[in-house]
Amino acid sequence: MNPSAIPSCATSEALVPTPAGRLYARRWHADGAGGRAPVVLLHDSLGSVALWREFPEQLAAATGRDVIAYDRLGFGWSDPHPGRLAADFVAQEVQAGFTPVHRALGLDAFVALGHSVGGGMAAMVAAAYGAQCQALVTESAQTFVEDRTLQGIRAARDDFAQPGQLQRLARYHGDKAAWVLSAWVDSWLSPEFAGYRLDQALARVHCPVLAIHGERDEFGSLVHPENIRQWAAGPVETEIIAGGGHVPHRELPGRITERIARFLAAL
């Protein structure tokens, strides 16, 4: 592990067994969390526990809740993925990743928070765990396969083809970096994934929802938070970041953590 990636607040780590391999998980322990439900983070297509950087610690301090993040299979410090992602990998993550983590860490109630494709996974989790998911937070989530998303992925694919660019991913994913990039690009650009939508999952989400989205997100327009507002069965708040891009929690960490804390304080 990279010591510089370990935050200063109290943390604990676990390797969670699954039938396909072990998942790496880390928990940031908030002072005075008491019985508050922890926030579980689901990362984006190129993400990992380490790539959340300071955000989990900042979120724990702002909300007074423990924050948990895990590397999906094939990412970060989790075991390699045995093959290609299935066309329904977003829905599959509920049982493939979240459920083993939920069980191994002895969780009951929780808040699901996902970034980008992790937002779709968080919505799937909230739909499946209706009795235990107290709230859902999406950040830059895509609700369907938009042309703007595909254009952004193609541009990123071309950037990563330049000399030395794959090494950026290798710092976080090691020798799994090429698989991580392929899993993102090939999955989203495949014809089998073209029908991906979140409407049916959101129709089963009855908990409060906060949808955060950057006005200039290069991987998804403002139609997505509007879809979340229309499709979710429970109450929905939206936070549109004027001039914001795809990673608001990195661009404006203070604003994002404060907004999430205010949203969760009402639970």
Spatial CB neighbours of 190, under 8 Å, sequence gap ≥ 6: 87
Domain boundaries of the chain, sorted by first residue = 3-265
CA angle 232, 86, 122 (to 5 degrees): 30
Q: How confident is the model at residue 7 (pLDDT cuts 50, 70, 90)?
A: very low
Give, as one character, the DSSP assignment of residue 217. Answer: -
Q: How confident is the model at residue 77 (pLDDT cuts 50, 70, 90)?
A: very high
Do residues 178 and 129 lie in contact, with contact meaning Cβ atoms separated by under 8 Å? no
**pLDDT tens digits for range 86-123:** 999 999 999 999 999 999 999 999 999 999 999 999 99
76: left (phi over 0), alpha (psi -120 to 50) or beta: left
Report the alpha-carbon distance of residue 88 to residue 172 in Å, rounded.
Answer: 25
**pLDDT tens digits for range 145-196:** 999 999 999 999 999 999 999 999 999 999 999 999 999 999 999 999 999 9
pLDDT at 2 over 90: no
> How many helices and strands (H and E) does the chain possess?
11, 8
Q: How confident is the model at residue 8 (pLDDT cuts 50, 70, 90)?
A: low
CATH topology of domain 3-265: Rossmann fold (3.40.50)
Nearest Cα residue to 245 out of 124, 116, 143: 116
